[in-house]
Chains A and B, each alone.
Chain A
Amino acid sequence: NAGVMQNPRHLVRRRGQEARLRCSPMKGHSHVYWYRQLPEEGLKFMVYLQKENIIDESGMPKERFSAEFPKEGPSILRIQQVVRGDSAAYFCASSPPGREGEKLFFGSGTQLSVL
């Protein structure tokens, strides 16, 4: 069972461009979470999704950021018109349905650098 897969591992964008970060959850997992981590800081919650449904987006900036988890395919975190302050590591995590759904399994992250 492959773990949570994120790509790309590193993404470089110029200010004003769009960044698309992909996350494929573990097989059988139906819940996806996105977190942002700045250097030497904690994991900041952004959004929690189930298939075709946003459960909690209380950590998402109101503008430029969006997330989806379609019926088929990976979850996508999209950042439009990136700015230098968006530079960070973005981690995706997934969890299974049911009682074990409390346990989050993390991907290796995407390091976004905005020039």
Chain B
Amino acid sequence: GENVEQHPSTLSVQEGDSAVIKCTYSDSASNYFPWYKQELGKRPQLIIDIRSNVGEKKDQRIAVTLNKTAKHFSLHITETQPEDSAVYFCAARTGNTGKLIFGQGTTLQVKP
């Protein structure tokens, strides 16, 4: 069935380092891949997304890459700051009804 796997489940980096989170998806018809950031007790917020017709997208310190052949996509955060600490979720839009299926989440801790 439709599934999204996300790794790692936790990630700790020093301030200023880069962080990479990886996801794989099962539905080959998926065509839209967003990333959400959720701070403790808050709502998930969209931070960046990519459609299947491009391989990479950048927005300041964050970037997302997509490999459709391998069915995986990654989030890259450069020059991490303490305020980047949160749970990050990847998601894939299914090809049939268009719902978003989410990964299990990655808890990112940026140590000052």
Contacts and interface: CB of A to CB of B under 8 A. Distances in A.
Contacts of B51: 102
A43 B100 CA distance: 10
Interface of A: 33, 35, 40-45, 48, 55-56, 91, 101-109
Interface of B: 6, 32, 34, 36, 42-46, 49, 51, 89, 93, 96-105
Contact of A91 (B34, B43, B46, B105): B43
B34 A56 contact: no
A105 B45 CA distance: 7
Contacts of A109: 43
Of A33, A43, A106, chain B has the most CB atoms within 10 Å of the CB of A43
B83 to A, nearest CB: 20
A76 B53 CA distance: 36
**B-side binding surface: helix, strand, loop or mixed?**
strand
Given A42-B105, A43-B89, 15 more contacts: A33-B100, A42-B89, A42-B102, A43-B44, A45-B102, A55-B97, A56-B96, A91-B43, A104-B46, A104-B100, A105-B46, A106-B44, A107-B43, A108-B43, A109-B43
B49 A103 contact: yes
A113 B43 CA distance: 18
A42 B89 CA distance: 8
Nearest to B44: A106
Q: What are the 10 tightest A-B residue pairs by CB atom distance, in nearest-first order?
A: A56-B97, A43-B102, A106-B43, A42-B104, A102-B32, A48-B99, A106-B44, A42-B105, A42-B102, A108-B43
